Homo-oligomer: A and B are copies of this chain.
Amino acid sequence: VTEPARRRRQVVGPGRRRGVLTRERIVEAAIAVIDERGLDGLTMRNLGRALGKDAMAVYGHFVDKADLLGAVVEAEAARLQRIPPMEVSDPVEVLVALAAHYRSVLLDHPNLAPLVASRPLPQEDAPAILSLAVAMLRSVGLDDADIPMATDALTGFLLGYIVHEASQAHRRAQLGDEFRQQQERVRGRLRELPHDTSLEQAVIERRLSEHGSAEDFEAGLRAMLHGFRLGLAQPLSTSR
């Protein structure tokens, strides 16, 4: 159905608002609209207004809205590939730092995160990252035969946790008061349980607070990595 997006390189004029449209400018504007108004807030008419053009001007540069969104994801993937320099230390910590980079880049545009994550592979446009991760898993001591499984689990945790975090943030911002009310409802039901539930309430408080999830994210990742390192992923006896 969709043709491969045609690349159209063009000299960008010095102007900002007015001037010739380029794919780059459109993508940039689309991301800005998504940041401000969410994924659903990106309509062709809104985008046109943000660009100071008629809504239909975009169709000169992208065949589809889907095509446009693809380009938006591409732009995010390019940012993911710019891995910051990190001190080479324990391979586990390299992997944690890599994951933290993913997390911080994706959370820069939380409303975009679900879109990026719905792609087939996070490494789709970043085979170098995949190679780095594999190398680190190897030097952590993982058996080659276990690495695909471990990568799948780690990727699931990574993307899943981040996307979930991003959608929670979006939801929190969107419903405001009602969010607190829902938490109150859960607390109320907890109190009706027969035994002491102070710890359960602490769990909920932790989840209510906006901060701390970076630490939870890294802690969970570390636990999983060390679990893999020690060969503790199998149920009982090891048989492969």
Tell me the A residues contacting B by CB distance below 8 Å: 93, 96, 114, 117-118, 120-121, 123-124, 127-128, 130-131, 134, 138, 144, 147-157, 159-165, 167-168, 171-172, 179, 182-183, 185-186, 189-190, 193, 195, 197, 199-200, 202-207, 212-213, 215-228, 230, 232-235
Contacts and interface: CB of A to CB of B under 8 A. Distances in A.
Given A148-B205, A161-B160, A186-B127, A222 B232 contact: yes
Contacts of A96: 235
B124 A182 contact: yes
Copies in the complex: 2
B205 A153 contact: no
A153 B164 CA distance: 11
B227 A225 contact: yes
Contact of A152 (B138, B193, B213): B213
Given A216-B152, A222-B233, A118 B171 contact: yes
> Which 3 interchain pairs have the tightest Cβ spacing?
A160-B160, A153-B220, A223-B227
A235 B93 contact: yes
B93 A127 contact: no
B203 A222 contact: no
Contacts of A221: 153
A206 B152 contact: yes
A179 B119 CA distance: 10
A168 B93 CA distance: 29
A148 B203 contact: yes
A74 to B, nearest CB: 12
Nearest to A172: B120
Contact of A219 (B153, B222, B230): B153
Given A186-B123, A230-B226, A217 B134 contact: no
